[in-house]
């Protein structure tokens, strides 16, 4: 089943065309990645899908419904979630409070009773604790988010996105800045959460892309130039010329 589809998707900033007529389809389930050189339009493409940017031309459909003009919060309500390239936490709150707020924002009973205290909702509390356990952050639940090591901040942000229980989770460079020893832990967690939702990644680390992705799409100068499995992309001559040739081990 098609979960996300763009048709002729275009974004222009003055005379610059950042995304150029992209026809893209993402089926439900698994992990897909978008790769390309710096400036290829990857983050702009994400911003169009999530409603952060207005579309210059073309359309976006989610579950067969046109969402081209829907604001970001409506797309979240329809089942989209996002992990940003730059950490997007509540820095002065504890690790637990960050996740609890994300869970509460999705919990229907909390929405029906906006004045109810989060501490009175045991289901919200239990879900937040479960997410922290999955992230291996439960032992740091009382730490202020701002004081967490960078790798923990990235994992916490992923957990907050998961707390919204999205059908589609867009992750913009989720492993950026992670020390090597934490990389595989985050990759394992991404694979784990992909069991219950569709994940679309933008990622520069080719070992992450090749290790996780069921399907890869390649952007270059705003245009979609190739799609396929990891092996197909690795052996695509055009992709080699514009991108993978820069990554010696994949050339």
- Predicted confidence at residue 87, as pLDDT, reads 64
Residue-wise pLDDT for 114-141, tens only, equals 445 555 678 899 999 998 998 889 999 9
Q: Is the pLDDT of residue 111 over 60?
A: no
- pLDDT digit string, tens, across residues 137-156: 999 999 999 999 888 888 89
The confidence band for 159, taking pLDDT boundaries of 50, 70 and 90, is confident
pLDDT value for 204: 86
CB neighbour list of residue 210: distance below 8 Å, 6 or more residues apart:
230, 234, 250
Say if CB 54 and CB 60 are below 8 A apart.
Answer: no
Tokens of 192: 């784990």
CA–CA separation, 76 and 112 (whole Å) = 18
Cα separation, 159 vs 175, whole angstroms:
14
In words, the CATH class of domain 1-79+168-251 is alpha beta
Of 57, 75, 70, nearest to 19 by C-alpha is 57
Enter the tokens of residue 2. Answer: 């098609």
Task: State the CB neighbour count (10 A cutoff) for residue 120.
Answer: 10
* Dist CA 204 CA 210 (whole Å): 11
pLDDT of 194 higher than 60: yes
Closest CA to 184 of 212, 162, 204: 212
Domain locations along the chain: 1-79+168-251, 90-165
pLDDT tens readout for residues 71-87: 999 998 899 998 876 56
Cα 190 to the chain's mean position, in Å? 10
8 Å CB contact between 124 and 118: yes
- Torsion from C-alpha of 215, 218, 206, 62, nearest 10 degrees: -50
- Supply the pLDDT for residue 114: 46
Whether residue 172 is predicted with pLDDT greater than 70 in this model: the reply is: yes
What whole-number percentage of the chain has pLDDT above 70? 90
SS3 59: strand
Q: Are 34 and 170 in contact (CB under 8 A)?
A: no
- The segment with the largest mean pLDDT, out of 4-13, 124-133, 237-246, is 4-13
Which of 115-129, 220-234, 235-249 has the highest mean predicted lDDT (pLDDT)? 220-234
Model's pTM, two decimal places? Answer: 0.84
Q: What pLDDT is stored for residue 86 in this prediction?
A: 59
């Amino acid at each position: 089943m098609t979960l996300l589809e763009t048709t002729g998707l275009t974004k222009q900033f003055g005379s610059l065309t950042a995304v150029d007529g992209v026809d893209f389809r993402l089926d439900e389930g698994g992990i897909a990645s978008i790769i390309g050189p710096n400036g290829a339009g990857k983050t702009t493409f994400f911003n169009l899908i999530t409603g952060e940017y207005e579309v210059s031309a073309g359309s976006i459909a989610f579950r067969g419904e046109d969402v081209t003009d829907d604001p970001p919060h409506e797309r979240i309500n329809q089942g989209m979630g996002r992990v940003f390239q730059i950490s997007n936490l509540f820095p002065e709150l504890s690790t637990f409070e960050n996740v609890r707020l994300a869970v509460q924002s999705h919990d229907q009973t909390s929405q029906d009773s906006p004045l109810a205290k989060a501490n009175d909702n045991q289901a919200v509390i239990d879900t937040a604790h479960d997410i922290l356990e999955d992230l291996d952050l439960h032992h740091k639940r009382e730490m202020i988010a701002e004081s967490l090591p960078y790798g923990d901040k990235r994992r916490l942000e992923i957990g907050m996105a998961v707390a919204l229980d999205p059908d589609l989770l867009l992750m913009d460079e989720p492993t950026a800045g992670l020390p090597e020893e934490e990389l595989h832990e985050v990759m394992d967690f991404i694979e784990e959460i992909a069991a219950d939702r569709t994940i679309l990644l933008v990622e520069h680390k080719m070992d992450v892309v090749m290790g996780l992705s069921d399907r890869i799409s390649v952007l270059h100068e705003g245009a979609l130039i190739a799609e396929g499995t990891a092996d197909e992309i690795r052996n695509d001559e055009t992709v080699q010329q514009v991108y993978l040739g820069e990554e010696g081990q994949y050339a």
